[in-house]
Structure formats: structure tokens, C-alpha cells
């Protein structure tokens, strides 16, 4: 069985302005490490299990040259550009077609794919690799679709949830001891009251957005449940034939017209919520999607006043704040006095100040700046 990894890395990360920009989105930021981007960490954490030559990154045409320059661990031809933005289902279809053409001597049931995220925080990388191995093993041996369900640490309302079937006697224990349990249903982001009830019941897990399947499983699943995407994979393969070892800038020629005809739809809605034979490996390796500035409180250790202070700012009589000086205190001095529950982010050409409970509105700042100044500051 040839194991591969497909990392989706086309997001914009607008909630992390002013640190994130069009040419430097969240996955290219050093948010949770002083010397590695989130994409660097995503590749390095799975590399002990699957060699870099079998790891593929799919991103936008604008970001492809930047990623090729900054990801020396990967062969440049493994960094694929989407012709346009089309959500996760078409993205995965393009990745599946590309991987199929990269290994033309293998049958579709001889290739497995781990679809991973480019911009999540994972604390225990050893346990993560064990879980990936377990999920792939289950997918390879059963032909099931497999996903990760994260044990919820709090009644989060910003994540979707996966409900496992009550009849857990159907569970299959993998070789690593992790369990692949049958999925009962998927649930959209809940209200606080519903999330609290999910935790009380103990059968609900956070949807991590990571998926595992054989190549034949994902192709047949998309053909059956999302034919507007699945039935176009053959045309993508035709366009990609003989091109998967080339390194052109931009999307491979011939893929744009096929890709454009696909609907803008997520893999969760288009396939996961409709498919049968879906299993979930329940994990607890310290996961966070790092979706907005307040997530840093779950990644960094606060000081005695509850502050997260990244970059050496001076905080006097201040508590429960998140302050990031990305320029460095040897270049820019940032100081705050008597503040509480604020987010302050300073870069060389932008400063953000907002209450912690308004971090989801940072996207509105990006929209307003674009209307005001074009792309100069975004």
C-alpha cells in the first residue's frame, strides 16, 4: 500500500490581521513556534510516518511560488496550485487526481491518502502519528472513510461535532490500540446549551477536518454522493497525465476549465454527511484549530497576570491580555498600562487593538481596509 499525504493550504487566515496578509496567510505564520511556520510544523509532524516525497500540498496559484521557495523539504512538483478557489471538495478531487497520476502503476485500492490541515496546533506529535497510522490502517483494510474526532475539552461553539453510534460494540480496535468507531451523524456548530449537552452525553467529538481513505474510496464516494465533482476526476486525470513530475508556475494546464465547472462545496457537506461506512478515530493529542487570536491562550503559557506576551512587550498593571509584537522589542517597543482582556498585535505596518470577545470581527477590519486602501495593507 502506497501511503500519501495531501495537505490543504489555500486558506487566507484573515482573522489574524495584521500579521496575516494575502501573500502571508495563517499557514505561513509563525504563530505557535518562534522559528517554524504552521505549514512547516504540519509537514514535519507527519514526516516520520510518510516520507516527504509522498507528501503533497495543494494551495492557490498566488501562494504556490512562495511555498515552493519556503518548503525545501518537499519536491517542488508536490506543491500543487488550484486554478481558482472552489472549497474543499473540489480541492480534494484535484489532489486525488494528481496523486493517481503520480503513481500510474498502482491500482486505486493500492494508494491511501491522509488529508491533513496546514494550520492547526497539535501538542503531542508522537500520539498524532500513531493516530494517523491507525486511521490509515483502518481505511486501507476496510475501504471505509475515516476521520478524527477530538475529545472536547470544553463546550466549544466554533467547531462542528461528530456523534458516534451508541452501539460501541461495533467498534474495531486498530493495531495501535486506538478505536475506529462507526459515525452516527455530523452536527453543525451548536449553541452553547447544545454544546454543553454534547459534553454531558460523552458521545460527541470535535470535527477536526482531517480525513483518511483509499484512492478508490474517495473517487467512488464523490462519484456517488457528489457527482458534479466526482465525475470530473477522470477529466482532471486526463489533463494531468504526464505532468505530475513537472514544476510549472500555476495550475497544471488543462485543469482550469474542469475545475471551474465544479460547485463551490465543502467535503463535509458534499460527502461526509451523506456517505455510508464512515468511521471516526477518537483522539486526544492536544488539538486546536487556532481559528482566531484568542486561541493563543490555549497554546501559550500565560504569565502570573494571565497575559500572553509574545515578542517582549512591556505590560504594567495589565491582566488577561494577548499581546504580540511581531517586529521584536529590539526594533519596536510596545507598552500597555492598566488594560484588561484586550488583544494587541503590532507589525511593521499595522496595529490591531480589540477586546478578546471581538476577535471574530477582525475579518471586518480586513474588509474595511480593502474598501479604503485596496490591497495595500491586506
Rounded CA-CA distance 162/279 in Å is 10
Q: Is 10 part of a structural domain of the chain?
A: yes
Q: Is 145 part of a structural domain of the chain?
A: yes
Which of 166, 116, 100 is CA-nearest to residue 7? 116
Q: Is 218 part of a structural domain of the chain?
A: yes
Strands 79-82 and 308-310: unpaired
Q: Could you tell me if 118 and 253 lie in one domain?
A: yes
Q: Could you tell me if 116 and 221 lie in one domain?
A: yes
pLDDT at residue 357, as a whole number: 94
Q: Is 132 part of a structural domain of the chain?
A: yes
Average pLDDT, stretch 329-343? 91
Res. 205 pLDDT band, cuts 50 70 90: very high
pLDDT at residue 209, as a whole number: 95
Average pLDDT, stretch 282-311? 94
Q: Is 319 part of a structural domain of the chain?
A: yes
Total domains present in the chain: 2
pLDDT at residue 175, as a whole number: 55
| Boundary (domain end) residue, out of 239, 254, 288 | 288
pLDDT digits (tens, 9 = 90+) for 45-88: 999 999 999 999 999 999 999 999 999 999 999 999 999 999 99
Rounded CA-CA distance 33/64 in Å is 22
Chain mean pLDDT for the chain: 93
pLDDT digits (tens, 9 = 90+) for 155-191: 999 899 999 987 664 455 565 568 889 999 999 999 9
Residue 200 φ/ψ region, left for φ over 0, alpha for ψ in the -120 to 50 degree band, beta for the rest: alpha
| Boundary (domain end) residue, out of 288, 312, 345 | 288
Check if the beta carbon of residue 59 is closer than 8 Å to that of residue 81.
yes
Q: Could you tell me if 335 and 272 lie in one domain?
A: no
- SS3 of 170, please? helix
pLDDT digits (tens, 9 = 90+) for 209-234: 999 999 999 999 999 999 999 999 99
Q: Could you tell me if 275 and 304 lie in one domain?
A: no
Please tell me the pTM assigned to this model: 0.93
Q: Could you tell me if 365 and 256 lie in one domain?
A: no
Q: Could you tell me if 62 and 86 lie in one domain?
A: yes
pLDDT digits (tens, 9 = 90+) for 105-127: 999 999 999 999 999 999 999 99
Q: Is 378 part of a structural domain of the chain?
A: no
Check if the beta carbon of residue 140 is closer than 8 Å to that of residue 157.
no
Half-sphere exposure of 244 (CA within 13 A, CB side): 22
Q: Could you tell me if 284 and 297 lie in one domain?
A: no
Q: Could you tell me if 58 and 104 lie in one domain?
A: yes
Average pLDDT, stretch 5-25? 90
- Structural domain of 311: 293-373
Q: Is 363 part of a structural domain of the chain?
A: yes
Average pLDDT, stretch 13-27? 90
Res. 34 pLDDT band, cuts 50 70 90: confident
Q: Could you tell me if 270 and 325 lie in one domain?
A: no
Average pLDDT, stretch 243-268? 92
Half-sphere exposure of 30 (CA within 13 A, CB side): 11
pLDDT at residue 169, as a whole number: 40
Rounded CA-CA distance 286/284 in Å is 6
Grid coordinates belonging to 27: 499557514
Give all strands (DSSP E) within 165-244, no chain letters. 172-173, 179-187, 204-214
Q: Could you tell me if 71 and 199 lie in one domain?
A: yes
Q: Could you tell me if 44 and 65 lie in one domain?
A: yes
Rounded CA-CA distance 18/365 in Å is 9
Torsion of Cα atoms, 207 then 210 then 212 then 218, to 10°: 90
- pLDDT greater than 80 at residue 13: no
CATH number at residue 170: 3.90.550.10
Q: Could you tell me if 252 and 279 lie in one domain?
A: yes
Rounded CA-CA distance 302/252 in Å is 46
Res. 328 pLDDT band, cuts 50 70 90: confident
Specify the DSSP class assigned to residue 289.
Answer: -
| Boundary (domain end) residue, out of 242, 260, 288 | 288
Res. 235 pLDDT band, cuts 50 70 90: very high
What percent of the chain lies above the pLDDT cut of 90?
84
pLDDT digits (tens, 9 = 90+) for 151-163: 999 999 989 999 9
Least confident among 43-47, 100-104, 176-180, 289-293? 176-180
Query: What does the angle CA 324 – CA 116 – CA 186 come to, to the nearest 5 degrees?
Result: 100
Identify the sign of the CA torsion 215, 216, 217, 220: positive
- pLDDT greater than 80 at residue 12: no
Amino acid at each position: 500500500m502506497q501511503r500519501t499525504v495531501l495537505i490543504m493550504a489555500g486558506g487566507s487566515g484573515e482573522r489574524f490581521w495584521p500579521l496575516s496578509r494575502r501573500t502571508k496567510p495563517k499557514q505561513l505564520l509563525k504563530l505557535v513556534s518562534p522559528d517554524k511556520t504552521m505549514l512547516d510544523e504540519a509537514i514535519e509532524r507527519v514526516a516520520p510516518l510518510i516520507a516527504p516525497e509522498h507528501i503533497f500540498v495543494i494551495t492557490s496559484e498566488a501562494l504556490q511560488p512562495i511555498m515552493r521557495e519556503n518548503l525545501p523539504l518537499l519536491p517542488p512538483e508536490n506543491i500543487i496550485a488550484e486554478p481558482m478557489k472552489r472549497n474543499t471538495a473540489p480541492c480534494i478531487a484535484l489532489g486525488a487526481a494528481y496523486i493517481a497520476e503520480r503513481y500510474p502503476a498502482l491500482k486505486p485500492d493500492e494508494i491511501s491518502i491522509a488529508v491533513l490541515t496546514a494550520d492547526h496546533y497539535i501538542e503531542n506529535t508522537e500520539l498524532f502519528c500513531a493516530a494517523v497510522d491507525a486511521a490509515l490502517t483502518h481505511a486501507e483494510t476496510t475501504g471505509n472513510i475515516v476521520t478524527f474526532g477530538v475529545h472536547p475539552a470544553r463546550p466549544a461553539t466554533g467547531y462542528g461535532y461528530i456523534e458516534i453510534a451508541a452501539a460501541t460494540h461495533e467498534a474495531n480496535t486498530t493495531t495501535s490500540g486506538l478505536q475506529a468507531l462507526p459515525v452516527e451523524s455530523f452536527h453543525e456548530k451548536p449553541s452553547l446549551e447544545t454544546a454543553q449537552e454534547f459534553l454531558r452525553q460523552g458521545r460527541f467529538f470535535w470535527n477536526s477536518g482531517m480525513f483518511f481513505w483509499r484512492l478508490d474510496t474517495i473517487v467512488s464516494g464523490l462519484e456517488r454522493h457528489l457527482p458534479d465533482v466526482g465525475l470530473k476526476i477522470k477529466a482532471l486525470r486526463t489533463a494531468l497525465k504526464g505532468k505530475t513530475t513537472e514544476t510549472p508556475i500555476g495550475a497544471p494546464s488543462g485543469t482550469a476549465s474542469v475545475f471551474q465547472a465544479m460547485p463551490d462545496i465543502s467535503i463535509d457537506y458534499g460527502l461526509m454527511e451523506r456517505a455510508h461506512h464512515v468511521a471516526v478515530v477518537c483522539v486526544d493529542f492536544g488539538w486546536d484549530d487556532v481559528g482566531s487570536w484568542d486561541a493563543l491562550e490555549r497554546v501559550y503559557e500565560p504569565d502570573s497576570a494571565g497575559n500572553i506576551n509574545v515578542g517582549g512587550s512591556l505590560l504594567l498593571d495589565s491582566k488577561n491580555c494577548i499581546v504580540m509584537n511581531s517586529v521584536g522589542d529590539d526594533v519596536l517597543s510596545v507598552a500597555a498600562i492598566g488594560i484588561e482582556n484586550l488583544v494587541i498585535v503590532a507589525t511593521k505596518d499595522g496595529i490591531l487593538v480589540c477586546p478578546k470577545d471581538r476577535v471574530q470581527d477582525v475579518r471586518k477590519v480586513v474588509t474595511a481596509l480593502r474598501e479604503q486602501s485596496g490591497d495595500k495593507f491586506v
